[in-house]
């Protein structure tokens, strides 16, 4: 919906103009007596007011074209603009005619001339006074109708929408809009016809009315910006993990508040120095997340934290890492966006001062989030305290050193407390274990809770109650045995208890139940293998295909994806033959029940299906029962259950993404939400395509080529109404110093394939169409050397293997005769700098950024840079390109290094590269001389 803020601005400008015009008329004598500069100021002010009116008027008309619906009163105000424009011309004439010319030969004669003009203009002035007064009455009348609570005006519609949005986002905002509206209605009362009375009383009311609309405009703009920022921080899965965590049984976890058993309560209250961290540890499946959820929900936590906060505002916020989830559920960005969302939702007035103006559809960068958090902490230094509950640090998908840096960043002051949970044995534990009295191992506390859970769960079945009456000692022994064998692992307890309930409901006798319990594996992984072997042999090949897909996926897939997997089983190239048409959601909803049943029949309870919206497309995400299931399946030989060796899960995942791309309903390709879906699915497919290259030879990779070709066709179809190629819908990376990214409208799919490191695909395309190596705008080699791109979904390249973010194989292939790339090619888009120069500037800026932040550049990345430099030099990269990079970057300002190569690689490696480039250049020069 178009935002009617422009109509508020127009009303404010019209009121200000009327107010000014009436004052000009009333003070015409003062104008006559004023100096030339005074009247010039009046004319300048008049021009300023009418310009404002015209600008707002144009904005309103543009908004109408975008769908803004105005009420009749709002339309009448638009019509008043013409009256204002006519009056401006007449008012300017009045002001000019009453102005005394300072340079006149005779002051007496000039005064007489102006006096005559004033008498002669008296009728015109009175006429203008009446017309302005009529405009005053009209605007008040229209405003009164517009601002009624039951009005269907665009303004009231927007105010109601803002209030509804604030309620929906649960924003704790003290809105002044109701009071402003009441004040406007009061000031809109009709003006008395007695002009003398108007001049003495109503002038102030008109001025106040204009000021109130200014305030309304600011309030509306402020609320709109606050909501935009909050929505940009929010992501669909922000509470998904929280809802997925089992709620603790009644009376479970009460021990955490028992000061005789745990120091948690005293930590919450403590304001002692160096007492900001509390650490909860425990093995996989031991109930850490359930405990964290219990703590954050319990009112005793807030009560005790408020003792620590004293008079300060307490911000108690939480985040739950989830390794099986989407990128935002297992990343630093997801953590900071969640924390900032919760803080700023509670204190939205902070947003204006801590969040810089930004395009709301752009994804937040890690640097932006860090800086916003730092400003938030600084802005609230005297007024707020924060307690962060962070669950599952071990589920972060990245370098463990990041967690140490994260904890150091969050605990920057005594006004911040952190309660964190993690599996043991991680690098960052040294930070969390600094105070042994502020940590606990959950396994030591939960056996009685487990005993209670098993007993209560079995008590819910009437058949167990019957067994208890007949065999009380035997039933108690079963419960005691299960709780003792659990060894603190809640997941094992849940699985065994569920199996027990099923067996009891099958009317098994007590001796059989004892035997069943005895046969339960103690180890979770053994238990998962037992669950797999329960799947009927007929379904195991399908089970293996499904689980192999789930292990390799970047994020949980929608349930519909498994319908596509079933189609692939019947026809391998089903997706290439499928038409591009929006999916009919009501049809898929009808299929979901049957799909869920088939999934359960084939995968037992190893996978679960939720009912929420999928973060990219459709709904019903399919996920693992627990992270430990995925850990187990990574090492388990699922392929042994397949009937053929031809199944390639990464290729199947690529087909699924293509199938989803074809089914996306695309109304307007220019809409950011639509573009994000298209780009997210495309990037996920490109990730699988890249991963598929690694274990394959060129022949095995052949199925990917038509899939990737089809991606280009499908997205061109989606963007058929857009002038530029669809790849331009992606936001350009933000500049990093001198490292800038400009496309010049010449990006294409082959360039994106180069950025995505699809070496075999690019090689195949260049072999069949050699002319494609000559690309206008940025050459393909530049995309390989500077592959940065903005993507709505994070790809875990660096988590799965030690990826250096630049593909040496791609650079080597493009420098070969197949790619025909020239490292010295100059780019008009970049002030005619060469590809080689731009690469050196880019890696120097990265090095500078990392050194400044105290986070040294990864060794594998520096090695890749060095190897690439060698290959570029072998391909003829010239010394003047190095000097051009030095002239632009000027490393001597940053360090003792005068050479850009030394700044990046250090003295020894820089000397080798320098020697290589100079020797090869000299050799080429000698060859030229010999030829001559």
Between residues 42 and 245, the one the model is more confident about: 245
260 φ, ψ to 5°? -75, -20
Per-residue confidence at 398, pLDDT binned at 50, 70, 90? confident
pLDDT, position 175: 65
793 — pLDDT class (breaks 50, 70, 90): low
Q: Give the pLDDT confidence score for residue 30 in this predicted structure.
A: 53
Local structure of residue 685 (DSSP, 8 states): H
For residue 785, tell me if it sits in a domain: no
**221 pLDDT above the threshold of 90:** no
As to burial, measured by CB atoms within 10 angstroms (0-12 exposed, 13-18 middle, 19+ buried), residue 907 is exposed
d(CA 649, CA 552): 7
Which pTM was predicted? Answer: 0.76
Overall average pLDDT of the 744-772 stretch: 94
Q: What Rg value do the Cα atoms of the chain yield, rounded?
A: 36
How far is 822 from 875, CA to CA, in rounded Å?
A: 8
**Range in 454-468, 689-703, 876-890, 893-907 with the lowest mean pLDDT:** 689-703
Residue 351 placed within a domain: yes
Q: Is residue 764 part of a domain?
A: no
Same domain flag for 590 and 616: yes
Note the pLDDT tens digit of each residue in 725-750. 999 988 788 888 889 999 888 999 99
Q: Looking at the structure, tell me whether residues 151 and 192 fall in a common domain.
A: yes
The rounded mean pLDDT for the chain is: 86
Extract the tokens encoding 41. Answer: 């100021």
Q: Are residues 563 and 502 in the same domain?
A: no
Place of tokens 């070969």: 816
Whether 731 is covered by a domain: the verdict is: no
Please report which confidence band the pLDDT of residue 802 belongs to, taking 50, 70 and 90 as the band edges: very low
Residues 180 and 50 in one domain: yes
The whole-number average pLDDT for the span 304-315 is: 94
Q: 343 near 387, Cβ under 8 Å?
A: no
Q: Say yes or no: 355 and 266 in one domain.
A: yes
Helical axes 672-693 vs 759-768, angle rounded to 10°: 90
Helix (H) or strand (E) holding 358: none
Closest C-alpha among 515, 446, 518 to residue 482:
518
Phi, psi of 816, rounded to the nearest 5 degrees: -75, 170
Alpha-carbon distance 842 to 854, whole Å? 19
The neighbouring-strand residues paired with 386 are 315, 416
Residues comprising the chain, all counted: 932
Interacting residues of 701 by C-beta distance below 8 A, sequence separation 6+: 692, 693, 760, 761
Residues 6 or more apart whose Cβ sits within 8 Å of residue 769: none
Q: Which helix (H) or strand (E) holds 827?
A: strand 826-827
Asked whether the predicted pLDDT for residue 859 surpasses 70, the reply is yes
Do the Cβ atoms of 287 and 442 come closer than 8 Å? yes
Q: What is the pLDDT of residue 768?
A: 94
- C-alpha 853/C-alpha 408 separation (Å) is 13
In order of 551, 626, 825, the CA distances from 323 in angstroms are 12, 10, 44
Going by the DSSP 8-state scheme, the letter that residue 434 receives in this structure is S
Domain that holds residue 617: 536-700
Joined tokens for residue 259: 């000061």
* Whether 336 contacts 369, CB under 8 Å: yes
Pairing state between β 607-609 and 826-827: unpaired
DSSP 777: S
How much of the chain, in percent, has pLDDT values that exceed 70? Answer: 89
Q: Which of 672, 700, 728 is the last residue of a domain?
A: 700
User: How would residue 780 be classed by pLDDT, with cut points 50, 70 and 90?
Assistant: very high
Residue 801: pLDDT above 50? no
pLDDT category of residue 797 using cuts at 50, 70 and 90:
very low
At residue 17, the pLDDT reads: 85
Q: CA-to-CA distance for 353 and 574, rounded, in angstroms?
A: 53
* Mean local confidence (pLDDT), 640-669: 90
Q: Is the pLDDT of residue 150 over 60?
A: yes
Write down which residue in 444, 467, 499 finishes a domain: 444
**What are the tokens at 904?**
């990046």
Alpha-carbon gap, residue 29 to 25, rounded angstroms = 9
Q: Are residues 362 and 247 in the same domain?
A: yes
**Cα-flanking dihedrals φ and ψ of residue 739, to 5°?**
-85, 95
* Domain end marker among 444, 475, 492: 444
Crossing angle (nearest 10°) for helices 5-26 and 154-168: 130
Tell me what pLDDT residue 158 has.
84
Give the whole-angstrom CA distance, residue 400 versus residue 621: 28
Of residues 821 and 802, more confidence is placed in 821
Here the CATH number for the domain that contains residue 328 is 3.40.50
Q: Are residues 212 and 350 in the same domain?
A: no
Tell me how far apart the alpha carbons of residues 630 and 322 are, in angstroms, rounded to a whole number: 12
Least confident of 245-249, 336-340, 546-550, 586-590: 586-590
Per-residue pLDDT at 875? 94
pLDDT computed for residue 659 by the predictor: 96
| Contacts with 438 (C-beta within 8 Å, 6 or more apart), sequence order | 263, 267, 275, 277, 278, 279
For residue 708, the model assigns a pLDDT of 98
Whether 812 and 819 have beta carbons less than 8 Å apart is answered as no
Residue 39 forms part of a structural domain: yes
Taking alpha carbons only, the member of 270, 248, 405 closest to residue 332 is 405
Total of domains in the chain: 5
Pairing of the two strands 384-391 and 313-320: parallel
The mean pLDDT of 60-65, rounded to a whole number, is 81
Q: What is the mean pLDDT of residues 207-233?
A: 87
Give the pLDDT confidence score for residue 208 in this predicted structure: 85
Model confidence band, residue 110 (pLDDT cutoffs 50, 70, 90): very low
Q: Verify that 83 and 206 share a domain, yes or no.
A: yes
**φ, ψ (nearest 5 deg) of residue 160:** -65, -40
Q: Are residues 258 and 215 in the same domain?
A: no
- Each residue of 554-578: pLDDT tens digit? 888 999 999 999 999 999 999 999 9
Same domain, 425 and 558: no
Helix (H) or strand (E) holding 437: none
**Which of the two residues, 109 and 661, has the higher pLDDT score?**
661
Identify whether 744 is part of a domain. no
Q: What is the 3-state secondary structure (H, E, C) of 648-679?
A: CHHHHHHHHHHHHHHHCCCCCCCCHHHHHHHH
- Does 36 score more than 70 pLDDT? no
- Quick check: helix, strand or coil at residue 697? coil
Is the residue at 784 inside a domain?
Answer: no
Instruction: Identify the weakest region by mean pLDDT among 108-122, 709-723, 751-765.
Output: 108-122
- Is 255's pLDDT higher than 90? yes
Residue 799: pLDDT above 50? no
On whether both 303 and 421 belong to a single domain, the answer is yes
Judge whether 724 lies within some domain.
no
Same domain, residue pair 410 and 487: no
Closest CA to 194 of 135, 133, 124, 125: 133
Nearest Cα residue to 735 out of 790, 777, 686, 778: 790
Q: pLDDT class for 591, splitting at 50, 70, 90?
A: confident
């Amino acid at each position: 919906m178009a935002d009617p803020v422009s109509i508020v601005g127009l009303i404010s400008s019209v009121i200000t103009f009327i107010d000014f015009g009436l004052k000009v008329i009333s003070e015409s004598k003062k104008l006559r007596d004023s100096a030339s500069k005074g009247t010039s100021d009046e004319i300048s002010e008049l021009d300023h007011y009418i310009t404002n009116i015209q600008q707002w008027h144009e904005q309103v008309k543009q908004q109408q074209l975008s769908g803004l619906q105005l009420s009749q009163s709002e339309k009448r105000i638009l019509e008043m603009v013409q009256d204002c424009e006519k009056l401006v011309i007449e008012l300017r004439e009045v002001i000019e005619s009453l102005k005394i010319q300072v340079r006149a030969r005779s002051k007496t004669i000039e005064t007489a001339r102006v006096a005559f003009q004033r008498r002669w203009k008296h009728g015109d002035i009175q006429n203008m006074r009446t017309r302005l007064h009529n405009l005053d009455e009209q605007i008040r009348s229209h405003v009164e109708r517009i601002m009624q609570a039951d009005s269907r005006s665009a303004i009231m519609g927007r105010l109601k929408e803002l209030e509804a949005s604030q309620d929906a986002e649960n924003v704790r905002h003290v809105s002044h809009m109701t009071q402003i509206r009441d004040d406007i209605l009061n000031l809109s009362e009709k003006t008395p016809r007695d002009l003398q009375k108007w001049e003495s009383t109503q002038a102030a009311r008109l001025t106040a009315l204009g000021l109130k609309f200014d305030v309304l405009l600011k309030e509306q703009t402020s609320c709109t910006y606050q909501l935009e920022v909050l929505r940009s921080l929010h992501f669909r899965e922000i509470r998904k993990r929280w809802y997925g965590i089992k709620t603790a049984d009644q009376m479970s976890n009460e021990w955490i508040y028992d000061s005789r058993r745990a120091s948690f309560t005293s930590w919450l209250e403590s304001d002692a120095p160096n007492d900001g961290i509390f650490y909860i540890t425990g093995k996989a499946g031991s109930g850490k997340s359930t405990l964290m959820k219990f703590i954050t929900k319990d009112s005793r936590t807030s009560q005790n934290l408020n003792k620590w906060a004293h008079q300060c505002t307490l911000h108690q916020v939480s985040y739950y890492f989830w390794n099986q989830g989407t990128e935002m559920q297992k990343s630093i960005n997801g953590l900071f966006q969640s924390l900032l969302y919760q803080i700023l939702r509670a204190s939205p007035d902070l947003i204006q001062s801590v969040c810089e103006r930004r395009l709301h559809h752009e994804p937040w960068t890690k640097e932006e989030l860090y800086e916003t958090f730092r400003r938030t902490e600084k802005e609230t230094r005297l007024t707020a305290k924060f307690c962060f509950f962070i669950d599952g640090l071990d589920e972060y998908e990245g370098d463990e050193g990041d967690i140490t840096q994260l904890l150091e960043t969050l605990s920057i002051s005594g006004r911040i407390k952190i309660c964190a949970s993690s599996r043991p044995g991680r690098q960052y534990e040294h930070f969390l274990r600094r105070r042994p009295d502020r940590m606990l191992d959950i396994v030591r506390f939960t056996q009685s809770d487990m005993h209670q859970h098993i007993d209560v769960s079995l008590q819910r079945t009437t058949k167990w109650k019957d067994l208890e009456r007949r065999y009380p000692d035997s039933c108690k022994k079963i419960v005691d045995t299960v709780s003792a064998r659990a060894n603190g692992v809640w997941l094992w307890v849940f699985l065994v208890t569920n199996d027990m309930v099923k067996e009891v409901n099958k009317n098994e006798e007590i001796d059989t139940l004892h035997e069943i319990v005895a046969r339960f594996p103690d180890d979770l992984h053994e238990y998962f293998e037992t669950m797999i072997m329960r799947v009927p042999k007929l379904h195991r090949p399908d089970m293996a295909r499904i689980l192999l897909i789930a292990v390799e996926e970047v994020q949980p897939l929608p349930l519909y994806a498994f319908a596509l997997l079933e189609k692939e089983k019947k026809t391998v190239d089903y997706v290439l033959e499928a038409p591009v048409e929006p999916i009919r959601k009501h049809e898929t909803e009808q299929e979901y029940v049957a799909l869920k049943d088939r999934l359960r029949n084939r995968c037992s309870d190893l996978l679960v299906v939720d009912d929420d919206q999928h973060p990219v497309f459709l709904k019903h995400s399919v996920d693992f029962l627990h992270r430990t299931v995925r850990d187990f399946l990574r090492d388990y030989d699922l392929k042994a259950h397949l009937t053929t060796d031809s199944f390639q899960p990464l290729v199947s995942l690529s087909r699924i993404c293509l199938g989803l791309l074809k089914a996306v309903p695309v109304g307007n390709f220019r809409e950011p939400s639509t573009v994000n879906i298209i780009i997210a699915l495309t990037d996920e497919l490109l990730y699988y395509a890249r991963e598929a290259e690694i274990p394959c030879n060129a022949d095995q990779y052949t199925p990917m080529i038509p899939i990737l070709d089809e991606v280009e066709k499908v997205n061109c179809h989606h963007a058929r109404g857009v002038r530029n190629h669809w790849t331009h819908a992606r936001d350009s990376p933000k500049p990093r110093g001198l490292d800038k990214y400009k496309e010049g409208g010449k990006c294409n799919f082959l360039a994106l394939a180069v950025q995505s490191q699809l070496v075999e695909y690019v090689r195949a395309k260049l072999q069949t169409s050699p002319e494609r190596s000559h690309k206008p705008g940025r050459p393909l080699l530049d995309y390989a050397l500077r592959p940065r791109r903005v993507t709505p979904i994070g790809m875990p390249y660096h988590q799965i293997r030690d990826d250096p973010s630049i593909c040496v194989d791609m650079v080597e292939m493009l420098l070969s005769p197949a790619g025909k790339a020239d490292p010295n090619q100059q780019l008009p888009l970049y002030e005619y700098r060469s590809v080689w120069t731009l690469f050196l500037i880019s890696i120097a800026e990265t090095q500078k950024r990392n050194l400044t932040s105290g986070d040294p550049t990864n060794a594998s990345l520096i090695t890749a840079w060095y190897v690439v430099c060698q290959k570029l030099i072998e391909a003829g990269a010239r010394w003047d390109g190095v000097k051009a990079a030095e002239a632009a970057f000027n490393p001597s300002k940053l360090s003792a290094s005068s050479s850009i190569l030394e700044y990046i690689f250090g003295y020894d490696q820089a000397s080798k590269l320098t020697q290589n480039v100079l020797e090869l250049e000299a050799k080429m020069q000698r060859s030229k001389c010999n030829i001559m």
